[in-house]
Amino acid sequence: MAVTTPQAGTKRVVIDRVEPQVDAGLYPVKRVVGELITVTADVLCDGHDMLRVVARYRRGSKGRWNEVAMTDQGNDRWGASFSVDEVGPWEYTVVAWVDHLLTWREGLRKKAAAGIVEEVDLLVGADHLRTVAERGSGSAARLLAEAAAFLEERSNLLQSRIDRALDAGVIQAVDRLPDRTNAVTLATPLQVWVDRKLAGFSAWYELFPRSATDNVHRHGTFRDVINRLPYVSRLGFDILYLPPIHPVGVTARKGKNNAVTAGPDDPGSPWAIGSKEGGHRGIHPQLGTLKDFRALVAAAKEAGLEIALDIAFQCSPDHPWVTEHPQWFVQRPDGSVQYAENPPKKYQDIYPLNFESPDWKALWEELRDIFLYWIAQGVTVFRVDNPHTKSFPFWDWVIAEVHHQDPTVIFLAEAFTRPRRMYRLAKGGFTQSYTYFTWRNTPAELQEYLTELTRGAPAEFFRPNFWPNTPDILHEDLQSGGRAAHVARFILASTLSSNYGIYGPVFELQESTPARPGSEEYLNSEKYEIHSWRLDETYSLAPLISAVNGIRRTNPALQSNRNLRFHSVDNNRLLCYSKSTDEGDNVILVCVNMDYQNGQSGWVEFSPAAVGLEQKLPFVVRDLLTGISYTWQDTWNYIALRPADVAAHIFVLETV
């Protein structure tokens, strides 16, 4: 431990344990525009001197600091809040100093109350006031100099001198001219990354463009997707996410239901990217042209939708890079290229990129340029396929690079992997993340998981995006639970998490046959074949989805996750939780029956007091799904939910 003499031993304040921070400032805290940052810190000084503490914050790392006073919350903890109103990097720090004048003034108050003010106490104060006056100018300086002289003048009555010292005008003038000579601050400011609002509140809809057809024998096109936009928009989604749109490989192409060999008409998996028609900048010819794609992006925007592309950094054996940049792949001694494997499993149709390539720099730059290329085509949302099979430092870098050019870009990490890897990707910059939601299948499991996500360390950097299904995941609950399970899982996803998505139209049409018993793969998966869907089936969940998305948009309580509270219920198949705005002017209570076979009833502990409101009993809750109002008399209230109905309530608390 090197021993060094500090530069300024007169600085006595120490600042410790500043929150919020992620791994001591190694990674930025995340917020969306308009959100609050509530800074707290231990601020300590020896003895009894009084402190001033401020939080400073700014967009970027160079401009002028904004400042907000922190207040003493007791036990040496100080706090203040500020809001961030612009997308991009922010930073904040804490500044603190001993305020001798304040110490003196508070001492004078106490001595005056005890009747023990001495002459010298007023002389000390006069010195303080004069020093402050010298820092100022104009009328404030004059006021303070006069006050100092008044305090020193023994012919004035003692009480009038004390009154002058404690005069509101003097205090105000003094507080505007603090002595920060011995102020201390953090060695390094703490980082914040601010995203646009869509990063924190979004509803995603995934569809296979080639299945946007009226006929399984005709490959769907971008033009078909344009025709589908009114439907997706009517359902109330914000983002339309497309699986990879690039040319599909031919070599080792998979057939229907992941068959090892494809039939002559099988279209292959869109994730087997690259053919002689192009790679990650190419468009699969059967989908249309770049012009068509740009038309889709524009039409989507018109319909209130953003197009999200799937970025999967892997190659089919036919990808142009395999011959153009052989050094980006692992070459084997027999001259072949290493395909993906997880022994004993082999995936011959996929060549992974080699992030240890000596040519890594060119590789990284090319991958970055792919993002920039699609951003240039109007895309600002990316769903990244399996990021946990590509280098973490690469993601840190590429997201920073892209955000440097356009801080509004949203990255969704599709990493279904171990928790610390998922969290690390989020720390490194991913805007949103897939989660374990699909595999949390009881009220207790969901409560535990959501508590970790919204109250634990991840709340500062990990934004969950809940999906009841994906093209890879048809959970057993959906297979066996039918419509009731689809309804419940949809309402859970869309109200527990401010960001959620579904893979349609299979979801709203409740397709739920697995590829084989015990599998989470869909039978006849769209990953390997073209489907054509009848969207107007009477059993479709489209009306419910549309209603819930409408409820999400009109109730700001549902647009955040930090505000999630669980409420006790005396039936362990029921899950009850609320979300409320900071101001308490919008409170939503959701109750879901997670028994998809049987009706369940119980008593839930919910009242305005449970969410911090002063509103008295009885109170009224209105179910936004049915419009029915209930007057609840007590803090424990009865609910009954049957799978044959929509087995959930989305109540709004009627405020008085």
- In single-letter form, the type of residue at position 538 comes to T
- Residue 424 touches its own copies, criterion: CB under 8 A: yes
Minimum distance from residue 575 beta carbon to its own copies (Å): 26
- Residue 179 touches its own copies, criterion: CB under 8 A: no
Handedness of CA 160, 163, 168, 174 (dihedral sign): positive
The upper half-sphere exposure of residue 458, i.e. CA atoms within 13 Å in the direction of its Cβ, equals 23
Q: Which C-beta is closer to its own copies: that of 76 or that of 645?
A: 76
- Residue 554 touches its own copies, criterion: CB under 8 A: no
Position among 65, 67, 79, 107 found at the interface with its own copies (CB under 8 A): 107
Q: Are 14 and 64 in contact (CB under 8 A)?
A: no
Position among 156, 185, 327, 389 found at the interface with its own copies (CB under 8 A): 389
- Residue 113 touches its own copies, criterion: CB under 8 A: yes
- Residue 620 touches its own copies, criterion: CB under 8 A: no
Residues of this chain, 71-100, that bind its own copies according to CB under 8 A = 75-77, 89, 98
Contact segment (CB under 8 A) with its own copies among 213-221, 222-230, 338-346, 370-378 equals 338-346
Alpha helices in 1-115 (DSSP H): 100-114
Residues of this chain, 188-207, that bind its own copies according to CB under 8 A = 191, 193
Residues 6 or more apart in contact with residue 34 via CB below 8 angstroms: 83, 84, 85, 197
Chain centre distance of CA 376: 25
Position among 176, 291, 332, 616 found at the interface with its own copies (CB under 8 A): 332
Position among 63, 138, 264, 333 found at the interface with its own copies (CB under 8 A): 333
Token duo for residue 361: 């720099």
Q: What is the DSSP letter of 397?
A: H
- Residue 336 touches its own copies, criterion: CB under 8 A: yes
Token duo for residue 391: 């280098």
Minimum distance from residue 403 beta carbon to its own copies (Å): 7
Size of the site for its own copies (CB under 8 A): 81
Grouping H, G, I as helix, E, B as strand and the rest as coil, residue 80 is: strand
Task: Write down the catalytic residue from 91, 414, 460, 511.
Answer: 414
Position among 393, 543, 550, 618 found at the interface with its own copies (CB under 8 A): 393
Task: Write down the catalytic residue from 206, 224, 385, 595.
Answer: 385
Phi and psi at 261, nearest 5°, equal: -120, 140
- In single-letter form, the type of residue at position 579 comes to K
- Residue 344 touches its own copies, criterion: CB under 8 A: yes
Minimum distance from residue 428 beta carbon to its own copies (Å): 8
Q: Which residue has the tokens 């739920």?
A: 512
Minimum distance from residue 88 beta carbon to its own copies (Å): 9
Q: Are 286 and 210 in contact (CB under 8 A)?
A: yes
- Residue 377 touches its own copies, criterion: CB under 8 A: no
Position among 72, 85, 86, 119 found at the interface with its own copies (CB under 8 A): 119
Minimum distance from residue 34 beta carbon to its own copies (Å): 20
Task: Look up 385 and say whether it is catalytic.
Answer: yes
Q: Where are the beta strands (DSSP E) in 415-524?
A: 432-433, 465-466, 499-503
Contact segment (CB under 8 A) with its own copies among 221-229, 291-299, 421-429, 599-607 equals 421-429
Alpha helices in 204-283 (DSSP H): 222-234
Minimum distance from residue 400 beta carbon to its own copies (Å): 5
Q: Which C-beta is closer to its own copies: that of 341 or that of 585?
A: 341
Phi and psi at 631, nearest 5°, equal: -100, 120
Distance separating alpha carbons of residues 66 and 156, to the nearest angstrom: 42
Q: Which C-beta is closer to its own copies: that of 113 or that of 656?
A: 113
Q: Which C-beta is closer to its own copies: that of 392 or that of 566?
A: 392
- Residue 63 touches its own copies, criterion: CB under 8 A: no
- Relative to beta strand 306-311, strand 51-59 is unpaired
Q: Which C-beta is closer to its own copies: that of 44 or that of 145?
A: 44
- Residue 641 touches its own copies, criterion: CB under 8 A: no
Position among 64, 116, 157, 644 found at the interface with its own copies (CB under 8 A): 116
Q: Which C-beta is closer to its own copies: that of 366 or that of 508?
A: 366
Q: Which residue has the tokens 């009881």?
A: 442
Q: Are 585 and 656 in contact (CB under 8 A)?
A: no
Q: Which C-beta is closer to its own copies: that of 282 or that of 352?
A: 352
Position among 277, 401, 472, 623 found at the interface with its own copies (CB under 8 A): 401
Q: Are 394 and 367 in contact (CB under 8 A)?
A: yes
- Residue 246 touches its own copies, criterion: CB under 8 A: no
Residues of this chain, 7-46, that bind its own copies according to CB under 8 A = 9-12, 14, 16-17, 23-25, 28, 42, 44-46
Minimum distance from residue 360 beta carbon to its own copies (Å): 4
Q: Which C-beta is closer to its own copies: that of 458 or that of 602?
A: 458
Token duo for residue 295: 């038309």
Q: Which residue has the tokens 């004035």?
A: 156
Q: Which C-beta is closer to its own copies: that of 82 or that of 360?
A: 360
Tell me if the bond preceding 28 is cis, omega within 30° of 0: no
Distance separating alpha carbons of residues 111 and 473, to the nearest angstrom: 73
Q: Given 3-state DSSP classes, what are the helix, strand and coil percentages for the chain, each rounded to the nearest 5? A: 35, 25, 40
Minimum distance from residue 452 beta carbon to its own copies (Å): 14
Task: Look up 414 and say whether it is catalytic.
Answer: yes
Grouping H, G, I as helix, E, B as strand and the rest as coil, residue 13 is: coil
Minimum distance from residue 108 beta carbon to its own copies (Å): 8
- Residue 159 touches its own copies, criterion: CB under 8 A: no
Minimum distance from residue 466 beta carbon to its own copies (Å): 22
Q: Using CA atoms of 277, 282, 284, 285 in order, give the dihedral in degrees to the nearest 10.
A: -60
- Residue 114 touches its own copies, criterion: CB under 8 A: yes
Minimum distance from residue 67 beta carbon to its own copies (Å): 22
Position among 355, 449, 603, 636 found at the interface with its own copies (CB under 8 A): 355
Distance separating alpha carbons of residues 400 and 193, to the nearest angstrom: 11
Continuous segment of H or E residues that includes residue 552:
helix 542-554
Distance separating alpha carbons of residues 576 and 650, to the nearest angstrom: 10
**Other CB atoms closer than 10 Å to residue 199's CB: what's the count?**
25
Q: Which residues are catalytic?
A: 385, 414
